[in-house]
Structure 1
């Protein structure tokens, strides 16, 4: 069955990241909506969509839709998501699902009442290096996870004019409130310390306790250029260590012996380190950031099939921990 979807929001992220990957699946974009008529017309040409509107209510009322997708603002995600659910439509939305944890829980309740899924765009779960690490842990080969250290930086581009950290937390930090739990286990406690180089230049270290007993440190902030590598994760076990650099390099360290004084030194499949890095020269339509894989699960969920797609329940939980993180720092 081809999924007929109406889409709200035709900005750069939607037209460059989401919609091209969505159309690689068994999907028809039946209608598009954006408040900017020029942007809307450009997206309609790009994706060959005849039906367009600047009114989200009109989009949601389009006859024959199976689902609605959206990449707009958090307040619009809540309002438009509830409206789509009220019409019996499944929903895909970019994160965050709402501006507040209470709003996310409201959307979760609406999803449960309607019996229709809301899938949230936590693509970090699907970013290829994170996916490899998650699958190694889930396989049992890694053993017990003891700790996680994560770095996820950005630049202060959110603060043109008025310094307000809300966008930074909602659009950036929320990812790791979901990803850390996905890689290890649910978060059980969290607190953070911060430093501001000057208004708009924030750095914080968050201490995390996981339900499985593991401990973690997550470092985030707005004091690094987006033109440099800004993401790194290390997962620690007993004589096991996974390192993920910018989602495209993975190293799995196990328990290799010293080799310098061993005349029979070799590489042992059972204990030596494994590494992976993609071949960027290959003529393949790969999506290392994870949008294609995320949308594969999203489409399955919206068709009513079994799916591992991140749900609104995951979104509400991530938003809850995000608000506790902000409260611990008073920002």
Structure 2
């Protein structure tokens, strides 16, 4: 049933749209489009399915796992928005969609971050300013930090309800901080990638350049993969910048209540990268990356099956194996 007016928060007990609980008083301020939300849910579901099938087939394990998880979380978020079309006061659906859609791109970013390591290893590791094997150990923890900060913010905001405005604002600030950190990490990754690209482009013209690297650099499939990752990266970056602007005004601000901007700058800016990353799979376009990931999983499996505690390792072998874990 709908709520009645209270002196402190007149919409505190609203559960459905009525004259006393208008749609304009909800956080979103509108009836979410059922058609677009079903479209996005299907798009993310399809991207996740394609990623899982091709990733399992070609054994791009970690790339597949993070991208699939991100797509499934997006699927859950947009599926939760569908019932909001019938009842914008549906608290459970609103909290599910806001948490899932805010957090999912962080997982998708991890798949993008993994590509830099394998590009460096396949072309010329020596040109990277950072040892290629360390890239995942730099970007993944930073990305997880973004995820945790946003998750904490979402939990605080959800627990605040209508009763604790201080806690609500604290949660909002945490979400903004997490998304802002994500933009910084994305820019750091983009800068590192561009720097490596410029160094390789100069080196590749040298007659002494490795023939295998030159062949890979000129390979049409490899270039398509790089273009696909670049487009996906750009889409996620645009989405994160939009989210900062959306959250900066607080819950229920004009940007948050503008559905067309949400559809374009949140929905399409994430579903397009997911579909691109799924369709232009490294298993087909960048076999070196797939082979390296498959070999890494095999090495870890063999290591886990070793029963002898007296197994010895050559000095330095541990560091070499660490660089190929992801």
* Fold agreement, TM-score > 0.5: no
TM-score by length of 2: 0.26
Kindly name which structure, 1 or 2, has the bigger radius of gyration based on alpha carbons: 2
Higher share in strand? 1
TM-score by length of 1: 0.25
